[in-house]
Amino acid sequence: MNKTTMDNVIKYWLNNQPAINTTKNLKSDGLTLIYYETPIGETDEFGEKKIFNYTAKGLGFITMKTSQLVNKCFRLLHLHQKNVRESLL
């Protein structure tokens, strides 16, 4: 499993690869993204990445750090999808 930064764990997850951050609180097996023991992202049966919106306006606020991480996941997912679309042109 790749040991890396939190940002890179998200990027590895987006590319279906396992990773864990250096403090071991964010990890992915390539299919599920887990922060501490809470799944914050998953891959559905069609290979689409889904992020659980644990923010005040979403599924419910857990912690400020979780909310910030979820927002970062949304941003990185959007960039990842844009890059994939552009590579198909």
pLDDT digits (tens, 9 = 90+) for 15-40: 999 999 999 999 999 999 999 999 99
Q: What pLDDT score does 27 carry?
A: 97
Q: What pLDDT score does 81 carry?
A: 84
Torsion over CA: 36, 71, 29, 3 (sign):
negative
pTM given for the model = 0.88
Q: What pLDDT score does 61 carry?
A: 85
Q: What pLDDT score does 60 carry?
A: 81
Residues in the chain, pLDDT under 50: none
What are the DSSP E strand ranges found in the chain? Answer: 2-4, 19-21, 26-28, 32-35, 38-43, 49-51
